[in-house]
Amino acid sequence: MDRSEESFRQSLGQLLGDESFRLAAEQFANQHKGFHPEYAVSHTVQMIEKVLRIPKFHG
């Protein structure tokens, strides 16, 4: 993969000039609009704690 400044400039130009990339970015943003990393961590901890309370997991 070419990592030169010119290659980057061309790739960025393609992304900015192509409507399909913009639409895909908007769809991604809308899909993840309410996502907050803090919530994801908190939710994961709650799920682990819930699983640990199930008797079969207490060895």
Q: 1-17 pLDDT, tens per residue?
A: 778 999 999 999 998 89
Q: Which residue has the tokens 């790739």?
A: 11
What pLDDT band is residue 59 in, cutting at 50, 70 and 90? low
Residue 25 CA to residue 40 CA, distance in Å, equals 21
Would you say how long the chain is, in residues?
Answer: 59
Residue 6 CA to residue 25 CA, distance in Å, equals 23
How is 4-45 classified by DSSP, letter by letter?
Answer: SHHHHHHHHHHHHH-HHHHHHHHHHHHHTTT--HHHHHHHHH
pLDDT tens per residue across span 16-34: 899 999 899 999 999 989 8
